[in-house]
């Protein structure tokens, strides 16, 4: 423990006055020290425009997983913010898109019900994995993941969400000013509406939400109220024994306290819509919706996701009186004390491409993985 505390103390020494003179542009332009924990795809094409993609690792093992799948007639974005370990988010990354394609091809369409079916199939698949492996790895029952998905097909945007990741659309308003609109509902006990929902669903449980160390938590344990995984909070068969005190409930589980039912919304894309930002909560912890859309709107597309990421990390460092360069020297694991794993995908909408089939390569891009493979993203079978 002393080693990382000493490292933090060293990096925090004497940075405050220098940071006070730094602007956000200074942070963005300073490339004197490369950050090996940052990965990005500066700009690629999708069926309706271009996209930019960036990830930063903070945990010892990356718990964020993410993907962009591009097809001739559709675009898919997935941001999976894991907790308790990487197994749930990795499982989602490997299975959710495939489940969506299977259901979409059966119906030859995309719809809110098909998205819900894909989420349900992925939840069932992960719980089956937990059942098979919990004997040798009991803690997998306490692994889970938020799950944010966006699909653009036939001029319509579909967004489905579990947890507290966020999709925000930037649209031109009056006087050509960019306006931020949050598209999805978040499921986090810090939100009064979520606490009220939980209390109404569990009227006989006075401990369904508990304030612990200044943070509202479900059963005093977890903040998000919906997820894939977290099996021990959904089914009694996955309860963990007292050797895992962090995941002990005050009383036996009578009914699920977490849900895997996503919030889903549909939006026909409008001429004023310019781009959508999909990001895990690590971004929104440090920046507002409006700040983010203004940065995207006022800067070149090339590398815009990394630009957002670097501004966010600059803000995270500032809160601890550190410069951005100081933060870049902090190793993974220790880095989690300053910021979370963060995933950002910016999808630009070029309206002249809507409704047209583009001769573009079909790509499958996974966050933090440098290889890019072919995608099978076509709603209709060839």
Instruction: Give the domains, in start order, of the chain with CATH numbers.
Output: 2-84+145-187+263-374 (3.60.40.10), 189-223 (no CATH)
Cα–Cα distance measured from residue 162 to residue 181, given in angstroms and rounded to the nearest whole number: 18
pLDDT for res 375: 67
pLDDT for res 251: 82
Only one residue has tokens 């998205």, namely 115
Q: Report which of 63, 64, 87, 67 is spatially closest to residue 77, judged by C-alpha positions.
A: 67
* Residue 142: count of CB within 10 angstroms of its CB: 24
Q: Which residues contact 72 (CB under 8 A, 6 or more apart)?
A: 47, 357, 358, 360, 362, 378
Neighbour-count burial of 355, counting CB atoms closer than 10 A to its CB (0-12 exposed, 13-18 middle, 19+ buried): exposed
Q: Find the angle CA(127)-CA(53)-CA(346) to the nearest 5 degrees.
A: 100
Radius of gyration of the chain (CA): 21
Distances (CA, A) of 95 to 201, 243, 276, 315, 343: 30, 31, 24, 34, 19
Only one residue has tokens 């099978």, namely 376
pLDDT for res 7: 41
pLDDT for res 149: 98
pLDDT for res 360: 67
pLDDT in tens, the chain (382 residues): 333 333 433 333 333 323 333 345 444 444 445 788 999 999 999 989 999 999 999 999 999 999 999 988 899 999 999 999 999 999 999 999 999 999 999 999 999 999 999 999 999 999 999 999 999 999 999 999 999 999 999 999 999 999 999 999 999 998 889 999 999 999 999 999 999 999 999 999 989 999 998 999 999 999 999 999 999 999 999 998 888 888 988 788 889 999 999 999 999 999 999 999 999 999 999 999 999 999 999 999 999 999 999 999 999 999 999 988 889 899 999 999 999 999 999 999 998 876 666 666 688 999 988 667 666 666 655 4
């Amino acid at each position: 423990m002393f080693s990382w505390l000493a490292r933090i103390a060293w990096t925090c020494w004497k940075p405050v006055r220098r940071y006070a003179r730094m602007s956000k542009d200074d942070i963005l332009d300073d490339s004197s020290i490369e950050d090996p924990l940052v990965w990005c795809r500066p700009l690629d094409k999708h069926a309706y425009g271009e996209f930019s993609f960036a990830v930063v690792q903070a945990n010892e093992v990356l718990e964020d997983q993410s993907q962009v799948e591009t097809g001739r007639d559709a675009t898919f974005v997935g941001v999976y913010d894991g907790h308790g370990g990487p197994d749930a988010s990795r499982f989602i990354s490997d299975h959710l898109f495939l489940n969506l394609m299977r259901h979409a091809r059966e119906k030859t369409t995309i719809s809110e019900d098909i998205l819900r079916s894909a989420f349900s199939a992925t939840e069932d698949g992960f719980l089956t994995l937990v059942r098979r492996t919990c004997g040798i790895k009991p803690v997998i029952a306490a692994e889970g993941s938020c799950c944010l998905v966006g699909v653009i097909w036939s001029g319509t945007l579909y967004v489905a969400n579990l947890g507290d990741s966020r999709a925000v659309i930037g649209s031109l308003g009056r006087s050509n000013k960019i306006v931020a609109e949050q598209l999805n509902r978040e499921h986090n006990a810090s939100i009064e509406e979520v606490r009220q929902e939980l209390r109404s669903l569990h009227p006989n449980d006075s401990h369904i939400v508990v304030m612990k160390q200044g943070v509202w938590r479900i059963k005093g344990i977890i903040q998000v109220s919906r997820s894939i995984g977290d099996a021990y909070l959904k089914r009694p068969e996955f309860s963990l024994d007292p050797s895992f005190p962090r995941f002990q409930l005050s009383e036996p589980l009578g009914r699920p306290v977490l849900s895997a039912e996503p919030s889903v919304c549909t939006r026909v894309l409008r001429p004023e819509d310019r781009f959508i930002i999909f990001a895990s909560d690590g971004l929104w912890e440090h920046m507002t919706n409006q700040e983010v859309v203004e940065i995207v709107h006022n800067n070149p597309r090339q590398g815009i996701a990394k630009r957002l990421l670097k501004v966010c990390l600059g803000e995270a460092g500032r809160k601890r009186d550190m410069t951005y360069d100081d933060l870049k020297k902090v190793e993974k694991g220790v880095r989690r004390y300053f910021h979370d794993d963060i995933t950002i995908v910016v999808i630009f909408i070029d309206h002249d491409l809507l409704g047209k089939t583009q001769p573009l390569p079909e790509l499958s891009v996974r966050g933090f993985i440098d290889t890019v493979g072919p995608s099978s993203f076509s709603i209709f079978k060839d």
